[in-house]
Structure 1
Protein backbone atom coordinates (compact mmCIF):
# COMPACT_ATOMS: atom_id res chain seq x y z
CA UNK A 1 0.00 0.00 0.00
CA UNK A 2 1.22 3.51 -0.75
CA UNK A 3 2.01 5.80 2.13
CA UNK A 4 0.51 9.29 2.28
CA UNK A 5 3.91 10.75 1.40
CA UNK A 6 4.05 8.60 -1.75
CA UNK A 7 0.50 9.59 -2.71
CA UNK A 8 1.16 13.28 -2.15
CA UNK A 9 4.53 13.15 -3.89
CA UNK A 10 3.05 11.60 -7.01
CA UNK A 11 0.50 14.41 -7.42
CA UNK A 12 2.84 17.36 -7.98
CA UNK A 13 2.55 17.65 -11.77
CA UNK A 14 0.73 20.91 -12.62
CA UNK A 15 -0.42 19.30 -15.89
CA UNK A 16 -2.38 16.56 -14.13
CA UNK A 17 -5.51 15.34 -15.78
CA UNK A 18 -9.06 15.71 -14.55
CA UNK A 19 -9.16 12.22 -13.02
CA UNK A 20 -5.87 12.67 -11.18
CA UNK A 21 -7.02 16.05 -9.88
CA UNK A 22 -10.29 14.47 -8.68
CA UNK A 23 -8.46 11.67 -6.90
CA UNK A 24 -6.16 14.16 -5.22
CA UNK A 25 -9.17 16.17 -4.07
CA UNK A 26 -10.80 13.02 -2.66
CA UNK A 27 -7.64 12.29 -0.69
CA UNK A 28 -7.42 15.87 0.60
CA UNK A 29 -11.06 15.82 1.74
CA UNK A 30 -10.60 12.46 3.47
CA UNK A 31 -7.45 13.67 5.24
CA UNK A 32 -9.15 16.89 6.36
CA UNK A 33 -12.02 15.06 8.07
CA UNK A 34 -10.04 12.05 9.29
CA UNK A 35 -7.64 14.36 11.09
CA UNK A 36 -10.41 15.90 13.23
CA UNK A 37 -10.47 13.16 15.88
CA UNK A 38 -8.14 10.35 16.86
CA UNK A 39 -6.89 8.21 13.98
CA UNK A 40 -5.97 10.24 10.91
CA UNK A 41 -6.07 7.13 8.68
CA UNK A 42 -9.78 6.43 9.18
CA UNK A 43 -13.14 8.15 9.60
CA UNK A 44 -15.47 7.29 12.47
CA UNK A 45 -19.26 7.62 12.17
CA UNK A 46 -19.33 11.29 13.19
CA UNK A 47 -16.50 12.21 10.81
CA UNK A 48 -18.17 10.31 7.96
CA UNK A 49 -21.45 12.14 8.60
CA UNK A 50 -19.58 15.47 8.63
CA UNK A 51 -17.93 14.70 5.28
CA UNK A 52 -21.19 13.68 3.65
CA UNK A 53 -23.01 16.69 5.06
CA UNK A 54 -20.39 19.23 4.01
CA UNK A 55 -19.08 17.77 0.77
CA UNK A 56 -21.99 16.00 -0.97
CA UNK A 57 -25.17 17.95 -1.62
CA UNK A 58 -28.65 16.55 -1.89
CA UNK A 59 -28.97 14.62 1.38
CA UNK A 60 -31.04 15.78 4.35
CA UNK A 61 -29.93 15.24 7.97
CA UNK A 62 -32.04 12.09 8.68
CA UNK A 63 -30.76 10.45 5.49
CA UNK A 64 -27.15 11.32 6.37
CA UNK A 65 -27.56 9.92 9.90
CA UNK A 66 -29.05 6.71 8.56
CA UNK A 67 -26.46 6.38 5.81
CA UNK A 68 -23.43 6.92 8.05
CA UNK A 69 -24.87 4.59 10.67
CA UNK A 70 -25.51 1.81 8.14
CA UNK A 71 -22.07 2.16 6.58
CA UNK A 72 -20.35 1.93 9.96
CA UNK A 73 -22.49 -1.09 10.98
CA UNK A 74 -21.40 -2.95 7.83
CA UNK A 75 -17.74 -2.36 8.62
CA UNK A 76 -16.43 -4.71 11.33
CA UNK A 77 -13.69 -2.24 12.31
CA UNK A 78 -16.27 0.53 12.86
CA UNK A 79 -13.99 2.89 10.94
CA UNK A 80 -13.78 3.83 7.26
CA UNK A 81 -10.37 3.84 5.56
CA UNK A 82 -9.58 5.85 2.44
CA UNK A 83 -10.43 3.06 -0.02
CA UNK A 84 -13.80 2.46 1.64
CA UNK A 85 -14.40 6.22 1.62
CA UNK A 86 -13.77 6.40 -2.14
CA UNK A 87 -16.23 3.55 -2.72
CA UNK A 88 -18.90 5.25 -0.60
CA UNK A 89 -18.37 8.60 -2.34
CA UNK A 90 -18.62 7.02 -5.80
CA UNK A 91 -21.79 5.11 -4.87
CA UNK A 92 -23.43 8.25 -3.50
CA UNK A 93 -22.51 10.40 -6.44
CA UNK A 94 -23.58 7.80 -8.98
CA UNK A 95 -26.90 7.29 -7.17
CA UNK A 96 -27.63 11.00 -7.59
CA UNK A 97 -27.09 10.94 -11.36
CA UNK A 98 -30.26 11.26 -13.39
CA UNK A 99 -31.18 7.90 -14.93
CA UNK A 100 -31.68 7.67 -18.70
Structure 2
Protein backbone atom coordinates (compact mmCIF):
# COMPACT_ATOMS: atom_id res chain seq x y z
CA UNK A 1 0.00 0.00 0.00
CA UNK A 2 1.37 3.48 -0.83
CA UNK A 3 2.50 5.56 2.12
CA UNK A 4 1.64 9.16 2.98
CA UNK A 5 3.64 11.27 5.40
CA UNK A 6 1.88 14.06 7.27
CA UNK A 7 3.89 16.70 9.07
CA UNK A 8 2.40 17.42 12.48
CA UNK A 9 3.59 19.71 15.22
CA UNK A 10 4.55 18.12 18.52
CA UNK A 11 1.28 19.35 20.02
CA UNK A 12 -0.79 17.90 17.13
CA UNK A 13 1.02 14.56 17.36
CA UNK A 14 0.47 14.37 21.14
CA UNK A 15 -3.24 15.13 20.66
CA UNK A 16 -3.55 12.50 17.91
CA UNK A 17 -1.67 9.92 19.96
CA UNK A 18 -3.73 10.66 23.07
CA UNK A 19 -7.02 10.41 21.18
CA UNK A 20 -5.95 7.20 19.44
CA UNK A 21 -4.90 5.69 22.78
CA UNK A 22 -8.24 6.66 24.31
CA UNK A 23 -10.06 5.00 21.41
CA UNK A 24 -7.90 1.89 21.55
CA UNK A 25 -6.34 2.36 18.12
CA UNK A 26 -3.08 3.58 16.64
CA UNK A 27 -2.45 7.19 15.60
CA UNK A 28 -1.91 5.96 12.03
CA UNK A 29 -5.25 4.15 11.92
CA UNK A 30 -7.05 7.10 13.47
CA UNK A 31 -5.50 9.45 10.87
CA UNK A 32 -6.46 7.02 8.08
CA UNK A 33 -10.06 6.87 9.35
CA UNK A 34 -10.16 10.68 9.52
CA UNK A 35 -8.91 11.01 5.93
CA UNK A 36 -11.44 8.45 4.66
CA UNK A 37 -14.27 10.21 6.52
CA UNK A 38 -13.18 13.58 5.09
CA UNK A 39 -13.02 12.14 1.56
CA UNK A 40 -16.47 10.60 1.95
CA UNK A 41 -17.87 13.93 3.16
CA UNK A 42 -16.27 15.84 0.27
CA UNK A 43 -17.53 13.28 -2.23
CA UNK A 44 -21.07 13.63 -0.89
CA UNK A 45 -20.85 17.44 -0.98
CA UNK A 46 -19.57 17.42 -4.55
CA UNK A 47 -22.41 15.10 -5.55
CA UNK A 48 -24.91 17.53 -4.05
CA UNK A 49 -23.28 20.48 -5.82
CA UNK A 50 -23.38 18.57 -9.11
CA UNK A 51 -27.07 17.74 -8.65
CA UNK A 52 -27.83 21.34 -7.78
CA UNK A 53 -25.99 22.70 -10.82
CA UNK A 54 -27.66 20.14 -13.08
CA UNK A 55 -31.10 21.04 -11.71
CA UNK A 56 -30.53 24.79 -12.12
CA UNK A 57 -29.24 24.38 -15.66
CA UNK A 58 -31.31 21.43 -16.87
CA UNK A 59 -32.69 23.36 -19.87
CA UNK A 60 -29.19 24.29 -21.07
CA UNK A 61 -27.89 20.75 -20.52
CA UNK A 62 -30.79 19.36 -22.55
CA UNK A 63 -30.12 21.80 -25.37
CA UNK A 64 -26.41 20.93 -25.33
CA UNK A 65 -27.37 17.30 -25.81
CA UNK A 66 -29.44 18.04 -28.91
CA UNK A 67 -28.48 18.66 -32.50
CA UNK A 68 -29.87 21.57 -34.55
CA UNK A 69 -33.12 19.73 -35.30
CA UNK A 70 -33.62 18.50 -31.75
CA UNK A 71 -32.13 15.06 -32.46
CA UNK A 72 -29.56 13.66 -30.01
CA UNK A 73 -25.96 14.62 -30.73
CA UNK A 74 -23.30 12.01 -31.35
CA UNK A 75 -19.89 12.20 -29.63
CA UNK A 76 -18.45 13.52 -32.91
CA UNK A 77 -20.87 16.44 -33.14
CA UNK A 78 -19.05 18.43 -30.46
CA UNK A 79 -15.70 17.93 -32.17
CA UNK A 80 -17.06 18.95 -35.54
CA UNK A 81 -18.86 21.95 -34.03
CA UNK A 82 -15.63 23.12 -32.34
CA UNK A 83 -13.65 23.10 -35.59
CA UNK A 84 -12.94 26.63 -36.90
CA UNK A 85 -14.61 27.38 -40.24
CA UNK A 86 -11.19 27.97 -41.84
CA UNK A 87 -10.25 24.29 -41.37
CA UNK A 88 -13.70 22.70 -41.58
CA UNK A 89 -14.19 20.77 -44.84
CA UNK A 90 -16.60 22.60 -47.08
CA UNK A 91 -19.38 20.76 -48.88
CA UNK A 92 -18.67 20.05 -52.54
CA UNK A 93 -21.97 19.27 -54.31
CA UNK A 94 -20.10 17.58 -57.20
CA UNK A 95 -18.26 15.14 -54.94
CA UNK A 96 -19.81 11.78 -53.92
CA UNK A 97 -21.35 12.21 -50.51
CA UNK A 98 -21.24 15.99 -50.79
CA UNK A 99 -17.63 16.52 -49.61
- TM-score exceeds 0.5: no
Q: Which has the higher contact order (CA 8 A, sep 6+)?
A: 1
Scaled by the length of structure 2, the TM-score of the pair is 0.24
Q: TM-score, normalised by structure 1?
A: 0.24
Structure exhibiting the larger radius of gyration computed from Cα positions: 2
